[in-house]
Structure 1
Amino acid sequence: MYVASLGRDATQTQVSALFLHYANLLFGLGILAGPALVRGRRGFWPALVGSVLAAIGFANLSGMLLSDWWNLSASTHLDPEQAATVFEGFQQSSLLALWEGTMPFNLLGPVLVLVGLIRAGVIRWWTVPVYIAGVAGLMVIPADLPLATAAAVLVGFSPLALVGLRLVGRYRAGTI
């Protein structure tokens, strides 16, 4: 079913995978700058550990999107049963669980970064519930409601945009 859905509209599949790849890659790189906002020791370690975990999680998620192109190719060059068999074989790879095991890092890491920045007095407490609500929305909103999913992304990741704005502000002020 999943492989067949990717093959229905090759352009949409490729554009989606490309944007998701770069978005996750940029999130992973950008969040590494978060600990630079911390002055002193208070909040530094959660921000640092969270940024490293998030960077690993987002980078691995970015790399996993290559499978969308493989699944698209399988769905266009093989009959549906063969394409599904190839997908199932991929999912059963013995070491894939190690790669997929980092997926929670891109959920937990940003929370730790936000908590560290809250403890350091850089941002306010409400950023963590907003982030968690947006991520929870992504998990429960049905795939056939793309506008609701987009709203959850915008709401959920707005605290990370706030962190980015703080970084830009400090850079302009010459304090980073």
Structure 2
Amino acid sequence: EAVSAPTPAAVETPPAEAVAPAPLPRKHHVVHRPPPTPTLTLQQRVKQVLSSNPRTRRVDCYTSGDTVTIFGKVFDNDAKLYAVKIVRQVPGVGNVIDSLQTDTAEWAARQAAIASQLYAAGLTGVTVKVIGQEAYLDGTVKTEAQKQQAVTITENASTVHVRGNIIRVVPGNMFGL
């Protein structure tokens, strides 16, 4: 006896619930969050503020509690005041101790030391202006040798190079007047 294929009426249809696809396995969503930023110390926050500004990039600091001591160099007194002001604005700063040096004060000190040595050498008609590592001489002397002496004194008195020398040689009369 031959087996015949079942007729369509003979095939049972499963109930509607059984036809729905099986649920997919749940995927775990991984949320990528940046690692928490570490809390910066007061000193780190102040250094960050100072280093981010060209006027205060040569300034450093240390802290003790909420007191911040700033040290290093700035160009002039205006930059000093600015550095103190921006440090005071950092959250957590209670007091600021200013131990800053200025370039202009350093230049003035070198200038005064050179002027003193020129005066001591009898070169009272010579003036000096120091800007950075450069010195500029002006005034009058009686001989070319004194003009050269002014350059030698200037360069030996401080770590400067004479960039401009407009000293004029004005010989006195033969009677020393």
Scaled by the length of structure 2, the TM-score of the pair is 0.24
Structure 1 or 2, whichever has the larger Rg, is 2
Choose between structure 1 and 2 for higher RCO, CA contacts under 8 A separated by at least 6 residues.
Answer: 1
- Larger relative strand fraction: 2
Scaled by the length of structure 1, the TM-score of the pair is 0.24
